[in-house]
């Protein structure tokens, strides 16, 4: 027997943690997600199950075998298919009433205003090394007054930062202006995770290569990112619960069973961050001198 879709029934188990009125509020919200791969895809599906009613999703890539270890839409049946199409179909299979706008060429300066039009929240799903697209997107969010959440998959954990309208901007926190690619990678990594909880159990550093813009990943981290990002999204969209925006942040590492809250006034200009960056640069130079080019 085929059941007809019913929004109230489909998301009734959310009630209790949210009120019926709040569930209807979520139904009327639109969330933008740039990057629908490792974290972005599971962000979309998690927020769809939370009952969010509309999305703008952007990605120019197609699925490949190297995506299988972590990306929600990566399957044999989706090889070679555009990620925005696959994830839009998966989300619509959860809620066929969804309003999903697809941006199949990714995000860039010419489409950011359209991508963020009518959006209540931006959730970052861009590749770690997509610095130009990320900087442009967060700058547009700051200019347009759109709250933005980034939950980065690091090791077997996640590092979370929230940027709110009128508060500290992404650029003021990370200080990426004038940096080359390697320096941006170091500043982004250390800015996300000042505690660097993931560093102690990286068993093969040769798999981290800044020059080739690659590094190891786990599905555990992507799933954790989606859970914490959805929780921050709920608080922002419903206007309840304590919100700790940048320069506050936090990192949870499941492997080490540790939660660390961070506070870096001035972001990467903070003395502790500047010291950490100095150490990181020396380590990078030493590794390159030994022929490894490891990050």
Compute the distance between CA of residue 147 and CA of residue 75 in angstroms, rounded to an integer: 32
Hey, CA dihedral for 177, 182, 183, 184, is it positive or negative? positive
Cα–Cα distance for residue pair 204/29, rounded to 1 Å = 42
Q: Please state at what angle helix 181-192 crosses helix 131-144, rounded to 10 degrees.
A: 60
pLDDT for position 295: 36
pLDDT for 291: 55
Per-residue pLDDT of the chain (295 residues; tens, 9 = 90+): 678 999 999 999 999 999 999 999 999 999 999 999 999 999 999 999 999 999 999 999 999 999 999 999 999 999 999 999 999 999 999 999 999 999 999 999 999 999 999 999 999 999 999 999 999 999 999 999 999 999 999 999 999 999 999 999 999 999 999 999 999 999 999 999 999 999 889 999 888 877 778 889 999 999 999 999 999 999 999 999 999 999 999 999 999 999 999 999 999 999 999 999 999 888 877 766 665 443 3
Say whether 217 sits in a helix, a strand or coil. coil
**For residue 161, which of 90, 76, 251 has the smallest C-alpha distance?**
251
176 — phi, psi (to 5°)? -95, -10
Q: How far apart are CA 39 and CA 36, in angstroms?
A: 7
Instruction: Please answer whether residues 69 and 217 qualify as being in contact, where contact means their C-beta atoms are separated by less than 8 angstroms.
Output: yes
DSSP classification of residue 203 = S
Using CA atoms, how far apart are residues 230 and 215, in angstroms rounded to an integer? 25
Q: How far is CA 189 from CA 17, 196, 207, 231, in A?
A: 33, 9, 16, 22
- Sequence-distant (≥ 6) Cβ neighbours of residue 51 within 8 angstroms: 7, 10, 11, 14, 23, 26, 27, 95
- The pLDDT score that the predictor gives to residue 293 is 43
Contact 208, 295 (CB under 8 A): yes
CB atoms within 10 A of CB 269: 12
Token look-up 């949870």 returns: 252
Helix (H, G, I), strand (E, B) or coil at 118: coil
Q: In what order do the strands lie in the sheet with 248-253?
A: 99-103, 54-58, 30-34, 121-124, 148-154, 157-163, 248-253, 258-263
* Closest alpha carbon to 131 in 83, 176, 71: 176
Separation CA 135–CA 198 (nearest Å): 24
Distance CA 278, CA 276 (A): 5
């Amino acid at each position: 027997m085929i059941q007809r879709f019913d929004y109230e029934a489909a998301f009734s188990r959310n009630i209790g943690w949210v009120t019926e009125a709040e569930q209807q509020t979520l139904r009327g919200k639109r969330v933008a997600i740039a990057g629908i791969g490792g974290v972005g895809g599971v962000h979309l599906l998690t927020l769809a199950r939370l009952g969010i009613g509309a999305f703008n999703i952007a990605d120019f890539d197609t699925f490949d075998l190297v995506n299988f270890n972590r990306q929600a839409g990566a399957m044999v049946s989706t090889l070679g298919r555009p990620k925005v199409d696959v994830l839009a179909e998966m989300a619509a299979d959860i809620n066929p009433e969804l309003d999903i706008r697809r941006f199949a060429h990714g995000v860039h300066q010419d489409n950011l205003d359209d991508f963020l039009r009518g959006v209540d929240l931006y959730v970052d799903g861009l590749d770690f090394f997509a610095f130009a697209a990320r900087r442009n997107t967060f700058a547009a969010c700051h200019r347009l007054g759109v709250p933005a959440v980034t939950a980065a998959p690091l090791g077997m954990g996640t590092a979370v930062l929230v940027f709110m309208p009128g508060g500290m901007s992404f650029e003021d926190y990370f200080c990426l202006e004038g940096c080359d690619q390697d320096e941006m990678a170091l500043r982004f990594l250390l800015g996300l995770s000042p505690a660097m909880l993931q560093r102690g159990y990286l068993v093969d550093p040769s798999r981290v290569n800044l020059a080739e813009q690659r590094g190891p990943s786990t599905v555990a981290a992507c799933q954790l990112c989606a859970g914490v990002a959805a929780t921050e999204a709920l608080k922002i969209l419903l206007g309840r619960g304590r919100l700790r925006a940048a320069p506050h942040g936090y990192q949870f590492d499941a492997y080490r069973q540790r939660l660390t809250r961070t506070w870096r006034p001035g972001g990467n200009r903070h003395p502790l961050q500047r010291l950490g960056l100095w150490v990181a640069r020396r380590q990078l130079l030493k590794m390159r001198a030994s022929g490894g080019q490891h990050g």
